[in-house]
Amino acid sequence: MSEALHRNYQVSEEIGRGRFGVVFRCLLPVNGVYYAVKSIEKSLVSADSLDAQCLLTEPKILHLLSPHPNIINLHDFYEDETHLHMVIDLCSSSDLHHRVVTRRVIPEPESASIMCQLVQALAHCHSLGVAHRDIKPDNILFDDRNRLKLADFGSAEFFKEGQLMSGVVGTPYYVAPEVLAGRDYCEKVDVWSAGVVLYIMLAGFPPFYGDSAVEIFDAVLRANLRFPARVFGSVSSAAKDLLRRMLCKDVSRRFSTEQVLRHPWITSGGGARTVADLT
Ligand SMILES: Nc1ncnc2c1ncn2[C@@H]1O[C@H](COP(=O)(O)OP(=O)(O)OP(=O)(O)O)[C@@H](O)[C@H]1O
């Protein structure tokens, strides 16, 4: 590990492991604050691969986006011959994936609070010309004050106003149909994926699914959004209205992050009810 990192931080136990590196807890003695340090082993990444580009893009993008209360902040960055080390906000072990698996569904007020924080993070990214491109529950972490922290910018990309992106990135259940169709796309792919996350929080299962990757892709491409009564009977009309606007196949009609943040279900903290809910 980098000598400079060890001069400044006390690195302690391992708290997680990804494809290319290990995450440790560490302490900065000068302020007594604990952080996480993500250490990436360069030898695991072949120099000319897409993965290598992503690894270098992540610290650059985190630096640009920091600080934001709902994005993992990059506090320090070290590089030596063998490793890259990113000192970032420390989060708890219970990410949104873990919460959904253990609790099955998340009540509307809590789902609205999570969605509001996630979309505020995305609005910040989009305003600075960054698309995350891999929004999913595993990348949604929480700190010790239960504040949402969007993580893993390894698939993120810079975009320019009015210019489209290309390349298939993302995770099957969450990826937007225009990405799968191989078309050029814009930052609204993140709104689609956030819509999938919202559906999963309220229903306990994804909106578009299948038994294999091909079946999942077919379901996403059809984008036939359904609200089975046995689950959605007790979900408010306002929540379903927002889901329809986020999971809209027509990108020009799909909500932007700013429109999501102005939607009554979000502004009312998941409490908005309409006449339809009374009948
Ligand atoms: N800031 C953090 N605070 C606490 N734990 C973290 C933090 N970042 C990552 N982790 C933990 O470390 C694990 C590995 O994270 P990492 O970002 O290296 O890989 P990944 O995104 O899960 O996987 P991959 O890089 O293979 O796609 C995560 O699953 C999580 O449990």
Looking at residue 275, its pLDDT comes to: 75
Looking at residue 162, its pLDDT comes to: 79
Q: How confident is the model at residue 163 (pLDDT cuts 50, 70, 90)?
A: confident
The alpha carbon of residue 277 and the mean position of all alpha carbons in its chain are separated, in whole angstroms, by 30
Q: Of the residues 95, 134, 152, 190, which is catalytic?
A: 134
Looking at residue 46, its pLDDT comes to: 67
Looking at residue 272, its pLDDT comes to: 75
Residue pointed to by tokens 């569904």: 105
> Range with the lowest mean pLDDT among 46-60, 196-210, 247-261?
46-60
136 is in an annotated binding site: no
Q: Decide if 138 is catalytic.
A: no
Tens digits of per-residue pLDDT, 234-256?
999 999 999 999 999 999 999 99
From the list 231, 244, 235, the residue with the least C-alpha distance to 277 is 235
pLDDT at 179 over 70: yes
pLDDT at 279 over 90: no
Q: Is 237 exposed, middle or buried (0-12, 13-18, 19+ CB in 10 A)?
A: middle
Question: What's the chain's average pLDDT?
Answer: 92
The fold of the 3-89 domain, in CATH, is Phosphorylase Kinase; domain 1 (3.30.200)
Ligand 1 geometric centre to CA of 231 (Å): 32
What is the residue with the minimal CA distance to atom 18 of ligand 1? 18
Looking at residue 246, its pLDDT comes to: 98
Q: Is 17 exposed, middle or buried (0-12, 13-18, 19+ CB in 10 A)?
A: exposed
Contact 216, 209 (CB under 8 A): yes
What's the CA gap between 128 and 158, in Å, rounded?
9
What's the CA gap between 158 and 254, in Å, rounded?
21
What is the residue with the minimal CA distance to atom 1 of ligand 1? 90
Q: How confident is the model at residue 107 (pLDDT cuts 50, 70, 90)?
A: very high
Tens digits of per-residue pLDDT, 78-106?
998 888 999 999 998 789 999 999 999 99
CA distances from 109 to 116, 143, 203, 223, 276 (A): 10, 19, 14, 26, 19
> Range with the lowest mean pLDDT among 132-136, 178-182, 274-278?
274-278
Give the residue with greater pLDDT, 262 vs 212: 262
Q: Are strands 74-79 and 33-41 parallel, antiparallel or unpaired?
A: unpaired
Q: Output the ligand 1 site: residues, CB below 6 A.
A: 15-21, 23, 36, 38, 72, 88-91, 141, 151-152
pLDDT at 161 over 90: no
Ligand 1 geometric centre to CA of 141 (Å): 9
Looking at residue 3, its pLDDT comes to: 87
Kindly provide the ipTM of the predicted complex, given to two decimals: 0.95
What is the residue with the minimal CA distance to atom 28 of ligand 1? 16
Domain 96-278: state its class. mainly alpha
What's the CA gap between 55 and 35, in Å, rounded?
20
Looking from the CA of residue 88, the nearest atom of ligand 1 is 1
Structure tokens at 179: 């990405």
pLDDT at 1 over 70: no
Ligand 1 geometric centre to CA of 32 (Å): 23
Give the residue with greater pLDDT, 201 vs 57: 201
Q: Where are the domains of the chain?
A: 3-89, 96-278
Give the residue with greater pLDDT, 77 vs 271: 77
Ligand 1 geometric centre to CA of 223 (Å): 30
Looking at residue 21, its pLDDT comes to: 84
Q: How confident is the model at residue 48 (pLDDT cuts 50, 70, 90)?
A: low
Tens digits of per-residue pLDDT, 19-45?
888 999 999 999 999 999 999 888 877
**What angle, 0 to 180 degrees and rounded to 10, lies between the N-to-C axes of helices 96-103 and 189-203?**
30
From the list 71, 92, 114, the residue with the least C-alpha distance to 200 is 114
Report the residue among 71, 92, 152 best suited for mutation to probe ligand 1: largest number of ligand atoms under 8 A from its CB. Answer: 152
* Sequential DSSP letters for 90-138: ---S--HHHHHHHHSS--HHHHHHHHHHHHHHHHHHHHTTEE-----GG
Q: How confident is the model at residue 54 (pLDDT cuts 50, 70, 90)?
A: confident
Structure tokens at 24: 């440790």
Contact 117, 70 (CB under 8 A): yes
Query: What is the share, in percent, of the chain residues with pLDDT greater than 90?
Result: 77
3-state secondary structure of 201: helix
Residues with Cβ within 8 Å of residue 193, at least 6 apart in sequence: 134, 135, 136, 170, 174, 175, 176
Looking from the CA of residue 72, the nearest atom of ligand 1 is 1
